Amino acid sequence: MSSIPGSLIKGQEPSSSPSALEKRVDELNAQAREMWESEDWQGILKVAGEALKLSRQCGYHKGASAACRNAAFAQYMLSDYAAALQEAFEGLRLAQEAQDEHGEGEALTILALIHWSLGNYDEALRQGLQAIEHFERPTTCQYGLAWCYTVLGGIYHSIGDYNQALGYHKRSNELFAEMHHIMGQARSLSGLGVVYHALGNLEDALRVHRESLALFQSINNRVGEARALSDIGAVYQDRGEDELAMELHQRSLAIRRELRNRPAEATSLLFLGRLFLKRSELDQALETLLEALHIAEDLGTKPKEFQAHLYLSEAYEASGNLCKALHHRKEAQRVREQVFSEETSTRMRNLQIRFELERAQRDAEIHRLRNVELKEKNEKLAALLKELQAAQSELVQSEQMASLGKLVAVLVHEVNSPLGAIRSLTDLVVRSVEKIEANIRTAESLEALRQRRSLWNALNTLKESHRSGSDAVKRIDKLVQSLKSFAGLDQAGYQQVNLNETLENTLTLIAPELRGRIRLVSAFGDLPEIYCYAPELNQVFMHLLRNAAEAIDGTGEIRVTTSADDDWIRIEFADTGRGISAEELQELFNPRFNSRGSRVRASVSLFTSLHIVQKHRGDIAVKSEPGKGSIFTVILPRNLEHQLGEP
C-alpha cells in the first residue's frame, strides 16, 4: 500500500483495524518513550530507527512521526542540535500529513526546546505558543500540554519575564500532580525554583529545589538529579555559602560528565568558574571557564557562550591581562546583541500580545453567541428566507468565496510549518558558514583543515539544510498550486479539464481540515477530459466532502471513486456517517437552516451544488440509510463540450 500527502491512499481498501506492522510500530514507539526516563539515548535512537523503517514500509505516517519525535529528543539530549532539528521538523511534517493533532503539538514543543537551548528565544516562543494551540484542544492529552507549559516557563525565564514564567511552571506542576507523573512534577518544581531564585526569594527556591531533588532521586533520574544539585548549589552560592556550593556543583559536574550531557556540563563549569574567580584562584577559574566556552561554541548555545565570555573578561582583568579581558568583553557584547537584540525583544512582545488578543477575541465571541436571544433567531430566519428567494443566481459565487475562506484559514496553518523550517534552516546555514570561516581562518595548513571534524560537521549540516529547505519550498508550492487550481486562478472560466486532477487538488486542500478524524480514500478510473466551469465543479466536490465529514461522528472514512462509460462520467462520494432518513431525503436539496447554540446559519451547500451540476446538464443521485452512511454521485455527460458550448 502506497501513501501520499494528506493521508490519501489510492486504489486500496482501508483495513478496519491497524495492520500487524502498524501495531509493531506503536509498540516500538511506546518502548522508546518509556526509555526517556532511563536516559538510554543511544538505545532510543536504535528503537526509533526500527520503528521508522517499519512505518515507511506500511505507509504509517503517524507512527513515523512518533519515531522521528523520539529520535529528535534523543539527539537533543546527546547535544546534536542539528540532527535534533532535522528529526523534529520531519516529525512535524509527518504528523501534519497524518492529521495527528497531538503529534504536531509535541513536535513543536521539541522544536521550542531546541531553539531555547540555542538562544533563539523568539523562534522558541513562536513554536511553543503554536504547540499550546494544538494541546489546548479537547482531543489532545494533558501530558503534552504540561511539558509545553514547562518549556514555555523556561523560555519566559530566559527573556526575563518572570511573572509569565511563574504562571506556566505552576500550571505545569498542577497538571503533572493530577497525573501523578513524578518526573514531570520534579522538572516543573525545578523551573519554579529557578524563577524564585531570579526573583530573590531564596528560601522558596531552596525548598522547591530540595523537593525536586528528592523526586528525581526517587526514580533514579540522573539527569534530573544533576540539575537539582546544580540549582541548589546556585542558591547557596548567592547566599555566600561557597564551600557547600562548590561541593554541590562538583557533584553535579561529575554526574553530567558521566552522562556526557555537554550543555549541562557547560552550566556546571560556569558556576564553578565564578566560584574560583571569587576565591581568586585565577588559574583554575580561567581553565574552567575556557572549557565552558569551548563546549558552548561547539554546541552553538549562545546564552552559555555569552556567560563564558563575560566571566572570562572578569577573570583576565583580575589577572592583569587587560588585552584578553577587553577581547572577551567585546565578544560577550556581540553574542548578547545576537540573543537579546531590540528587534528580537519586539518580535517576542508582539507575538505574546497577538496570542493573548486572539484568545480574548475567541472568548468574547463565545460569550456573545451564548447571549443571543430566540427573538433574534427568528428575525434572522425570516431575513435569510427572503434573501434566498431573491438571490439564487448569486449563491454560487458566495458559496465559492466561503469555501475559499475556510481553505485559506487552514492553509495559513499548513504553510506556517514549512516556513518555520526555512527560518530555522537559514539560522543553521548562517551558523555553519560562520563555523567554516572560523576553521579556515585558524587552520595552520590545508591538511590540518581537512582533519577538523567541526568543518565536516558544518558542511554536512549545510547539505542537510539545503535538502530540508528544498522539501519545505516544494511543500508550499504544492499547496499554492492546489489552491490556484481549485479557485481557477490564471485560467479561463470555461475550459477543458481532467476531473481526476481537479479532485486530487480538492482532496489535498480539504485533508488538513479533517485532522486525522476521517480517512480519505480515492480510487480514480480513466476519465476523458471535458469542457466545464472547473472552479464551480471544484466547489461542488468541496461541498460534498464537507457534508460527508459533518455526517461522521468521531472517526470514519470518505471514499471518492470516479468512472466513465460511453455516455456519462460518475464521481461517487461514499461516507461511513449517520445516514439520512427517507423523510430528509425528500427535502435534501432545498435551502434550509441549522441552529447551533445561539447561532442560526443558512445551509445551502447542497442546493448550490445541484444548481451547478444541473447547469452542466448533469444530476446528483443519493443513496442512504440511517446508520449505514450515504453515497452521493455526481453524474455528468461525457460529451459536455457539445451540450454547453462556449459561453
**Residue 530 pLDDT greater than 70, yes or no:** yes
Instruction: Give the residue from 604, 593, 633 showing the smallest Cα distance to 403.
Output: 604
**Residue 385 pLDDT greater than 80, yes or no:** no
22-126 has which CATH code?
1.25.40.10
Average pLDDT, stretch 545-566?
91
- Measure the CA–CA gap between 390 and 385, rounded to whole angstroms: 9
pLDDT attached to residue 485: 56
pLDDT attached to residue 188: 93
Q: Would you say how long the chain is, in residues? A: 647
**Residue 10 pLDDT greater than 50, yes or no:** no
pLDDT attached to residue 346: 44
556/466: higher pLDDT: 556
Q: CA–CA distance from 123 to each of 136, 137, 551 (Å)?
A: 20, 22, 39
Q: Residue with C-alpha cell 492546489?
A: 482
pLDDT attached to residue 182: 93
pLDDT attached to residue 124: 87
- Measure the CA–CA gap between 299 and 80, rounded to whole angstroms: 8
- Measure the CA–CA gap between 170 and 188, rounded to whole angstroms: 7
- Measure the CA–CA gap between 74 and 227, rounded to whole angstroms: 18
Average pLDDT, stretch 252-262?
90
Bridge partners, residue 630, by sequence? 575, 624
What are the cell numbers at 413? 496553518
pLDDT attached to residue 432: 72
- Cβ-proximal residues to 54 (8 Å cutoff; 6+ apart), any chain: 21, 24, 25, 28, 60, 63
Average pLDDT, stretch 543-570?
91
**Is 141-260's fold the same as 495-644's?**
no
346/196: higher pLDDT: 196
141-260 has which CATH code?
1.25.40.10
- Measure the CA–CA gap between 399 and 539, rounded to whole angstroms: 8
- Measure the CA–CA gap between 276 and 339, rounded to whole angstroms: 27
Domain ranges of the chain: 22-126, 141-260, 281-336, 400-489, 495-644
Tell me which of 12-26, 320-334, 349-363, 494-508 is least confident.
349-363
Class of domain 495-644: alpha beta
pTM of the model: 0.53
pLDDT attached to residue 506: 85
Q: pLDDT band at 505, cuts 50/70/90?
A: confident
**Residue 64 pLDDT greater than 90, yes or no:** yes
Please say whether the beta carbons of 267 and 306 come within 8 A.
no
Q: pLDDT band at 252, cuts 50/70/90?
A: very high
